Amino acid sequence: MNRRQFAIFGAALCGLAISGVALAQQPQFFRIGTGGTAGTYYPIGGLIANAISNPPGSRPCEEGGSCGVPGLIATALSANGSVANVNAIAGGSLESGFSQSDVATWAHSGTGIWEGRDAVSNLRAIANLYPETIHLVASASSGIESVSDLAGKRVSLDEPGSGTLVDARIILGAYGLSEEQVEAHYLKPDQAAERMRDGAMDAFFFVGGFPAGAIAELASQHDIKLVSISGEEADSVVSEHGFFAVNKVPAGTYEGVDEEVTTLSVGAQWVTSAEQPEELIYEITKALWNDNTRKLLDAGHLKGRQITLETALDGVGIPLHLGAEKFYREAGVLNN
């Protein structure tokens, strides 16, 4: 091989090497459907997206860089909540999303609110995250002391497609009320809070981790009451629907709410499609539970501290994604 041929050959090898590096550095995008920006899903989704991402060219984890999945760029998208996220995953317009445990189970089995519709049989779980508290927020001037007092009042049940709307209907029913017996509105919690500040809303439901931004902001500007959901009616909800659990909001969580309030909760879960690659979901699950993510969750949001490996499978009523299952078996969380 003469000098010119050697130079051409070397340039070709160099080009192949550069092409290989470029190919290896191709980013992979992974969307996480959350909820409204005033709720808890959105900030938690942002924390998780940041934790599992490791864009091409990032510093290695051991050198203080990202400890996420190499080449992955995850984004948290504001959405309409549980039902909308499950529908988007089923339709292929989202790779993953957050859902209440009840909504995920009903969707997968074609029961409850999914009865009469095609079951989302390919819905799979990545992790249970934290308890979602059912907030019933009333204006202090409304005279609302219990769920029964909502009759005839202006009440926002959250927007269509949200898990909150589903749960609000269940709770109203347990207390012998229907949507027709209240002046029902269907607004995001920040919109409902704004109307309450203006005197145009008596109460609204919100399902999410406390403290919720929209409620905290409202409480700093307007006298509110956090209405208890307890007693025989609440007990009947827990008995009939295994996704619910008794939950308590500590005194002082919201300004002016100086006593502990007993209510209900459902689990917030991260779900995906069975069609997502096993190795990708394995790496994502692994990144979710590494030490770096632990620090981000603990520092980033009060609910982040409740997202633990020990509770990752609590209340999961749908099959795990095979990639997630592989990780949990390796981690000793799943033994059977």
pLDDT, tens only, 207-260: 888 888 889 999 999 999 999 999 999 999 988 887 888 889 999 999 999 999
Strands of the chain (E only): list them. Answer: 28-33, 72-77, 96-100, 123-139, 154-156, 183-185, 203-208, 224-226, 245-249, 261-273
pLDDT confidence bin for 12, thresholds 50/70/90: very low
| DSSP classification of residue 320 | B
For 253-287, how does the pLDDT look when each residue is reduced to its tens digit (9 = 90+)? 999 999 999 999 999 999 999 999 999 999 999 99
Angle, helix 82-91 to helix 163-174, in steps of 10 degrees: 130
Quote the CA–CA distance of 168 and 164 in Å, as a whole number. 6
Mean pLDDT over 316-325 rounds to 95
- Residue the block writes with tokens 């907030």: 135
Mean pLDDT of the chain: 90
| The pTM of the whole model exceeds 0.85 | no
**Chain centroid to CA 61: how far?**
26
Q: CB–CB of 15/9 below 8 Å?
A: no
Interatomic CA distance for residues 290 and 274, integer angstroms: 23
Distance CA 260, CA 230 (A): 12
CA 209 vs. chain centroid, Å, equals 9
**Axis crossing angle, helix 41-52 with helix 278-288, rounded to the nearest 10:** 110
pLDDT digits (tens, 9 = 90+) for 95-138: 999 999 989 999 999 987 888 899 999 999 999 999 889 999 99
Residue 105 main-chain phi, psi, to 5 deg: -65, -45
Give CA–CA dist 283/69, Å, rounded: 6
pLDDT of residue 205: 97
Is the confidence at residue 336, as pLDDT, over 80? no
Count CB-CB contacts under 10 A for residue 49. 20
Q: List the structure tokens of 39.
A: 């709720």
Pairing of strands 203-208, 123-139: antiparallel
Higher pLDDT, 272 or 164: 272
